[in-house]
Chains A and B, each alone.
Chain A
């Protein structure tokens, strides 16, 4: 006991008689705000759930049709509803070609813009360029669609020959979808580069690194997880892009590896069928829900993958 008293000397012990109220108190305001925030978060979950249910229900209706089988849907190479052929591959192939071309355009250009903005541009230049980029991101995609059809396609046909390049073609749509997602790639990558601690840049410069060496060999690798996330999101965006492909890629499923031919993508097909005057009970109409579900699964897969990549490459800074 003596020891304890000595140790506590100078520390005023609370008199044991008055107890201090330490019980839980209700804080109405906190509770209300928490409820609102929860509701907001819940709405997004609810929406996702509703989409899955609606798509799933109608897709199920499609697969119940005796003319349709899931295996043919996933492996069939012909999509011709009139003939009862529902093979997804032509549409999927066109979608992957368009988004593949788009990413080949968007990744290098978007990343270069990001590196320029983050590592090279003076604040004055950055403050002008970033809003311009955001305006570009806000242009309605229908305008990009006509840009592809009336500007890019004629150039391609002029350069490569009108015989080799269809009026509606995958390449033109892919290039323009790429341009369309450049602002997304650039802006997200720039955020990732900006998040790299200043101390790392100083470390590199302190070793006698040039700006280019610092940017490409230290800053970009340190921001890799964010850049990968940007890439994945842009890929999802490209896969889901509808207006440009509907206008410029062609209306007719075709399984081809030639990007100069016309080929309808999954989203292009959905928009054509849903915009047409097909009856709501036809198999054709039901098929778009199955395609929609497939799109949903693909983008979900990409998002999960991007989450993994982010976790895998994330560098922990203090």
Chain B
């Protein structure tokens, strides 16, 4: 199936219906991707397929470009004035960096959850409903209520907040805020969800909840997650990509494969050093 990414009037694709039917095996693919900040090459020549309805983890030392790589997948780097991309990322057969493509449209299909929970200073309800509203939700109030409830249920937050939907999102705990941010991302009915260290501000219990949640979410969404936590990558992901930093601080992909394989039988000695903690 093809998805409209071209710039055009808003609310043209009725995205508030069902998820797109399953296409090929890879939803996304980076092809010979380079990302620059000014003259500095932060990502060098990465080719990486992202499997549909699977969790792909990005691991690697700090500063190697995991966030940069992740943000390339929904053109979030466009917000950095100096950032520039060479190579391509293909989403369901379409280049997301092609000239006619609207980054706003890309981000409606490929949503994002950030490292630090960043709910809007709005009510819990409006935090979830806002994304749907701006994306052309045209249903009744009841339908919007249902959408908000469904997103909060999927994000495993409903039980904790159903009786205080009108309170500020900022009144929740850190772990709850992060689940609210996940609910907010889900409510737009994206296809892919990018998560940049979503658990790094959370305690171990809240972290496990998010990991459980990811397992449920992957039935409907494709998930990319950046993590510093090796156990998390090993526990929660289906595929793992290990990035490293070269001598000019450029990030490159060392090894990519199914998670169990990469962790038990790494092909590259640098991967082995990193996952066994002998790195650096």
Binding site for B on A (CB under 8 A): 122-123, 197, 199-210, 213, 217-218, 221-222, 315-318
Q: Which of B35-43, B90-98, B106-114, B153-161 contacts A (4 or more CB under 8 A)?
A: B106-114
A-B contact pairs, 5 of them (CB 8 A): A202-B114, A204-B120, A206-B114, A207-B185, A222-B121
Task: Return the contact of B188 from the options A201, A202, A207, A213 (Cβ within 8 A).
Answer: A207
Known pairs A202-B76, A203-B114; A209 contacts B104 (CB<8 A): yes
**Residue contact B134 to A205, C-beta cutoff 8 Å:** no
Cα–Cα distance between A205 and B109 once the two chains are bound (Å): 12
Known pairs A205-B76, A206-B111; A122 contacts B81 (CB<8 A): yes
Q: Which residues of B contact A205 (CB under 8 A)?
A: 76, 79, 104, 107
Known pairs A206-B74, A206-B114, A210-B10; A200 contacts B120 (CB<8 A): yes
Q: Which residues of B contact A316 (CB under 8 A)?
A: 170
State how many angstroms separate the Cβ of A45 from the closest Cβ of chain B: 34
Q: Which DSSP category, helix, strand, loop or mixed, fits chain A's interface?
A: helix
Q: Which residues of B contact A200 (CB under 8 A)?
A: 118, 120-121
Q: Which residues of B contact A222 (CB under 8 A)?
A: 120-121
**Residue contact A199 to B104, C-beta cutoff 8 Å:** no
Cα–Cα distance between A209 and B130 once the two chains are bound (Å): 10
Q: Residue on B with the closest CB to A203?
A: B118
Task: Return the contact of B118 from the options A123, A197, A210, A217 (Cβ within 8 A).
Answer: A197
State how many angstroms separate the Cβ of B245 from the closest Cβ of chain A: 24
Indicate whether B184 reaches chain A with its CB closer than 8 angstroms. Answer: yes
Cα–Cα distance between A208 and B193 once the two chains are bound (Å): 12
Q: Residue on A with the closest CB to B181?
A: A203
Task: Return the contact of B104 from the options A201, A210, A217, A315 (Cβ within 8 A).
Answer: A210
Task: Return the contact of A208 from the options B119, B135, B181 (Cβ within 8 A).
Answer: B135
For B, the interface residue count at a CB cutoff of 8 angstroms equals 30
Q: Which residues of A contact B76 (CB under 8 A)?
A: 202, 205-206
**Residue contact B185 to A199, C-beta cutoff 8 Å:** no
Indicate whether B105 reaches chain A with its CB closer than 8 angstroms. Answer: yes
Cα–Cα distance between A222 and B135 once the two chains are bound (Å): 21
**Residue contact B134 to A217, C-beta cutoff 8 Å:** yes
Q: Residue on B with the closest CB to A318?
A: B116
Known pairs A200-B118, A200-B120, A222-B120; A207 contacts B111 (CB<8 A): yes
State how many angstroms separate the Cβ of B48 from the closest Cβ of chain A: 21
Q: Residue on A with the closest CB to B135?
A: A208
Task: Return the contact of B120 from the options A122, A210, A218 (Cβ within 8 A).
Answer: A218
Indicate whether B162 reaches chain A with its CB closer than 8 angstroms. Answer: no
Known pairs A202-B79, A208-B131; A221 contacts B107 (CB<8 A): no
Indicate whether B138 reaches chain A with its CB closer than 8 angstroms. Answer: no
Indicate whether B164 reaches chain A with its CB closer than 8 angstroms. Answer: no
Q: Residue on B with the closest CB to A218?
A: B120
Q: Which residues of B contact A210 (CB under 8 A)?
A: 10, 104, 134
A-facing residues in B126-185 (Cβ within 8 Å): 130-131, 134-135, 168, 170, 181, 184-185
Q: Residue on A with the closest CB to B79?
A: A205
Indicate whether B235 reaches chain A with its CB closer than 8 angstroms. Answer: no
**Residue contact A207 to B134, C-beta cutoff 8 Å:** yes
**Residue contact A207 to B81, C-beta cutoff 8 Å:** no
Cα–Cα distance between A123 and B79 once the two chains are bound (Å): 13
Q: Which residues of A contact B184 (CB under 8 A)?
A: 203, 207
A-facing residues in B223-244 (Cβ within 8 Å): none
State how many angstroms separate the Cβ of A48 from the closest Cβ of chain B: 34
**Residue contact B107 to A208, C-beta cutoff 8 Å:** yes
Known pairs A122-B81, A218-B120, A221-B122; A208 contacts B134 (CB<8 A): yes
Cα–Cα distance between A140 and B110 once the two chains are bound (Å): 53
Best-buried of B104, B119, B135, B184 by chain A (most CB within 10 Å): B104
Q: Which residues of B contact A197 (CB under 8 A)?
A: 118
Q: Which residues of B contact A218 (CB under 8 A)?
A: 120, 130
Cα–Cα distance between A318 and B115 once the two chains are bound (Å): 14
State how many angstroms separate the Cβ of A106 from the closest Cβ of chain B: 25
Q: Residue on A with the closest CB to B105?
A: A208
Q: Residue on B with the closest CB to A201?
A: B79
Question: Can you name 8 extra interface pairs (CB under 8 A) apart from A201-B79, A204-B120, A208-B104?
Answer: A123-B81, A200-B120, A202-B114, A206-B114, A207-B184, A207-B185, A210-B104, A213-B134
The 4 closest A-B pairs by CB, nearest first: A208-B108, A206-B112, A315-B121, A207-B131
Cα–Cα distance between A197 and B113 once the two chains are bound (Å): 16
Cα–Cα distance between A218 and B135 once the two chains are bound (Å): 15
Cα–Cα distance between A304 and B73 once the two chains are bound (Å): 49
Cα–Cα distance between A208 and B76 once the two chains are bound (Å): 10
Q: Residue on A with the closest CB to B187?
A: A207
Q: Residue on A with the closest CB to B131?
A: A207
Q: Residue on A with the closest CB to B103?
A: A205
Cα–Cα distance between A204 and B122 once the two chains are bound (Å): 12
Q: Which residues of A contact B118 (CB under 8 A)?
A: 197, 199-200, 202-203
Cα–Cα distance between A73 and B195 once the two chains are bound (Å): 66
Cα–Cα distance between A317 and B130 once the two chains are bound (Å): 20
Q: Residue on A with the closest CB to B168?
A: A315
Best-buried of A123, A197, A201, A318 by chain B (most CB within 10 Å): A318
Cα–Cα distance between A120 and B76 once the two chains are bound (Å): 17
Cα–Cα distance between A206 and B117 once the two chains are bound (Å): 13
Best-buried of A200, A205, A206, A316 by chain B (most CB within 10 Å): A206
| B185-204 to A contact mask, C-beta < 8 Å, 1/0 | 10010000000000000000
